[in-house]
A and B are shown apart, each in its own frame.
Chain A
Amino acid sequence: MLKKKIRTLIEAHKDLGWVPEPSAKAIMKAQGLDIPEFVLTNSFEKAEQFLRKSKGPVVAKAVSKKILHKTEYQAVVTGITTSRRLKKEMERLQGLEGCEAVLVEEMVQGLEVIVGAKNDFQFGPVVVLGIGGTSVEIYNDTAIRMAPLKPGDVFSMVDSLKAKALFSGYRGRDGVNMEVLTYTLVRFSHLIMTLEKDMDSVDLNPVICTKDRCIIADARIILKKA
């Protein structure tokens, strides 16, 4: 059974055809998945307050129904540490096409992976795990499994990636918490099973994995055409 909150959010975006970031992340959170601390606002004061409260740098993103691929519009700014920069970037983002508000959130460092889903014609919902970020199509280092996943599937997915060494820690860097990654992927796979009738594909890209957490830094759900 789909949680009421998730159902409401999906229905609210049927006309648009896709669920943009803040709502897509809210759906993931309702499914028990980890998203960064954030504030969604047009007020610089509120954004600044959030920056001051944050332990480290923040990220600012334009929220726009017109922008499906944020990178192509320079709609994401990372590593903001000063009020001055925050103000300047916020103003620029607010000027982008269709910008409704600015999403300011904590910036997390770790291994960037993509967790995705596709509603395959022959097999139904499938889960994709790969090395994430903006070059994901270039490396195409991914593993695909039929949803729902069992914990063992997650281990075999990681094991089949060329970049698997990055998950166990490479050159002194922290590895990925496999228990949390497994939880994330299994829960996600259950979610997409319940969204089978609604979903065309899902991108959680990047999901930032550290030794403690897997945080969904960006998300969007493409809905099936009515």
Chain B
Amino acid sequence: MELKYLFKPSTMAVIGVSTSQDNHPANVIYTKNNLRYPVKTFPVNPKGGMLHREKLYRSIADIEENIDMAVIAVRAEFVPKVMEDCIQKGVKGAVIVSGGFAEAGNRALQQRLTDMAREAGFPFVGPNCLGIYAPDHVDTFFLPGERIIRPKKGNVGFISQSGGVLVDQMVKFAGQGIGVSLAVSIGNKAFLRETDMLDWFAEDVETKVIAFYVEGFEKGEGRLFIQKAEQCGKPVVVLKAGKSKKGMEAVSSHTASLAGDYRVFSDIMKQHCVAEADNEYELTSFCEALSCFQKGIQGHIGVLSLSGGHGVIAVDACELHGMTVPRLDPKTMETIREKVSPAIRNIISLGNPLDLTGSSVDNDIVTAATHLARDKGIECLLALLIPYSPGVSADIGAKLSQVARNEGKPMIAYVPNEEKYRIIIEGFELNDIPVASSVDGAVLMAKALKRCRPC
């Protein structure tokens, strides 16, 4: 099935725009796309007339141009008729924002939509969803632009059963500098489901990481999901809700979904190398790390720090998350001792973690990182970069990024997330080195690489 017109439309109709309420979901969607996105947008309301001095179409059939995608935001009982009009018109897909379907007990009405769409080969997202956000392209979230924080364009594809979780995750992604290729709230997933989205993202060249917020699968659907995740060759991250019995009840009343036995879910994800994030914080860390490095590691970490304490904290966290901090090759230690500045030669702690102390300067850090990366026993570097001492320059982020690129090993940095250190953080992030705002966060990023299949 062709989904590119649905996710990357050139023309879009918003059906159900109100003539009296400017904050009606359809109006919010129409206004933001009309004013701020390149997609050509047409408002539709059976009353016709004008909206904001522009023509309001009585029906989608009245629009002269071909329409790639329709946003349907009318009352549930009118949706089948509107969908029929869209199919007649030759529209290539829809986002059905309207609620009042399976989640409200109206399964038969929802089934009608699914049957109609299947017969016509008409893909749709929803119902009961926020729809899609494709940066710089289209945004069907019915939330005013000034209320939300949008991540920039990037390589993470995100799919969520819950619209609220999706928007909240967008804010978190934006905060960590993670960009998305496409974010989709699939709502009741009456037509397009997680497995269809895996197919789309597997083929999409802009997407390198595929992340899901999942509440539950249908009968046998988990097996299909796993098969597709294995075949797609890109790292897949899942955050599962409805883990506890109590949580499961909440899920059932939320999007009318059946949640399964969590232990089975979790063990099978592990078996098939899908990275399961335990919470939103891990989900964000995993996505950030995997958007920079898709290749998996076994979990042998080299820790470089400017303070003994940070090194020890990192080692504890590595152990907790099933990673090792191996001994360094004696040659590595010898070389580092030889090459660092004489001023710190006798005060550094040579080993893993490697503590260069607060007296080190940029060159020492770069030298140590280079030789740590060359050690055969180390697969990934944690650079715990506390920028408080005068020897650390504003260029250290950019400099260390070059080391990682030259040596071909993943590096993850920790820099306190403060405006003052933005230049160091950007020095890393603009050069594709993920930066965590805590030591724990940096270790979680390394864990993401470990959970990913070594390929």
Identify the A interface with B (CB < 8 A). Answer: 118, 120-124, 126, 142-146, 153, 156, 160
How many cross-chain pairs have Cβ atoms below 8 Å apart between A and B? 51
Interface centre among B216, B217, B226, B263 (most CB of A within 10 A): B263
CB of A137 to closest CB in B, whole Å: 13
State the CA gap A122–B195 with chains docked (Å): 13
With A146-B226, A146-B272 as given contacts, are A122 and B267 in contact (CB-CB < 8 Å)? Answer: no
- Residue pair B220, A146 in contact (C-beta under 8 Å): no
Cα–Cα, bound, A156→B217 (Å) = 25
- Taking the closest CB of chain B, its distance from the CB of A108, in whole angstroms, is 29
Q: B259: nearest residue on chain A (CB-CB)?
A: A122
A146 adjacent to B258 (CB under 8 Å): no
The residue in chain B whose Cβ has the minimal distance to the Cβ of A124 is B223
Closest 8 pairs (CB-CB, A-B): A122-B222, A144-B267, A122-B260, A123-B222, A122-B217, A146-B268, A145-B271, A120-B264
Residue in B closest to A196 when the chains form the complex, CB atoms = B220
Interface string of B208-240 (1 = CB under 8 A from A): 000000001111111100100000000000000
Q: Are A156 and B260 in contact (CB under 8 A)?
A: no
| B421 at the binding interface (Cβ < 8 Å) | no
Give A121 to B216 CA distance when docked, in angstroms: 10
B271 touches A120 (CB 8 A): no
> In whole angstroms, what is the CA distance A118 to B268 when docked?
13
B261 at interface, CB cutoff 8 A: yes
Q: In angstroms, how far is the closest chain A Cβ from the Cβ of B127? A: 22
> Given A146-B223, A146-B226: A122 and B264 within 8 A (CB)?
yes
- Asked if residues B267 and A120 are in contact (CB atoms below 8 Å), the reply is no
A146 to B271, CA, bound (A): 8
B200 CB-CB contact with A under 8 Å? no
- Show 11 residue pairs from A and B whose CB-CB distance is below 8 angstroms, ordered by the A residue: A120-B261, A121-B219, A122-B220, A123-B220, A123-B222, A123-B223, A123-B260, A124-B223, A126-B264, A146-B223, A146-B226
| Closest beta carbon of chain A to B451's beta carbon, Å | 13
Write out the residue numbers on chain B whose beta carbons fall within 8 Å of the beta carbon of A145: 267-268, 271
Given the known inter-chain contacts A118-B264, A144-B263, A144-B264, please indicate yes or no for A123 contacting B226, CB distance below 8 A.
Answer: yes
Give the one of A122, A123, A142, A160 with max B CB within 10 A: A122
Q: Are A121 and B271 in contact (CB under 8 A)?
A: no
In angstroms, how far is the closest chain B Cβ from the Cβ of A115?
15
User: Which residues does chain B contribute within 8 Å of A160, judged by CB atoms?
Assistant: 270
CA A156 to CA B270, docked complex, whole Å: 10
Instruction: Report the minimal beta-carbon distance from A194 to chain B, rounded to whole angstroms.
Output: 16
Shortest A84–chain B CB gap in Å is 47
Distance in Å from the Cβ of B232 to the closest Cβ of chain A? 17
Give the chain A neighbours of B261 by CB distance below 8 A.
118, 120-121
B5 on the A face (CB < 8 A)? no
Residue in B216, B270, B271 whose CB lies within 8 Å of A122: B216
Query: How long is the Cα–Cα vector from A144 to B265 in the complex, in angstroms?
Result: 9
Residues of B235-273 whose CB lies within 8 A of A:
258, 260-261, 263-265, 267-268, 270-272
Question: From residue A120, how far is it (CB to closest CB) to chain B in Å?
Answer: 5
* Residues in A whose Cβ lies below 8 Å from that of B264: 118, 120, 122-123, 126, 144
Report the Cα distance A122→B270, complex, angstroms.
Answer: 16
Bound state CA distance, A118 and B265, in angstroms?
Answer: 13
By a CB distance below 8 angstroms, the chain A residues around B220 are 122-124
The minimal Cβ–Cβ distance linking A81 to chain B, given in whole angstroms, is 41
Residue of A nearest to B272 (CB): A146
Q: Is the CB of B263 within 8 A of A122?
A: no
Q: How far is the CB of A169 from chain B (nearest CB, A)?
A: 24
Pick from A118, A142, A156: contact of B271, CB under 8 Å: A156
The listed residue (B216, B221, B222, B268) touching A144 by CB distance below 8 A is B268
Beyond A118-B261, A156-B271, 5 extra complex contacts between A and B, CB < 8 Å: A120-B222, A121-B258, A122-B223, A142-B263, A146-B271
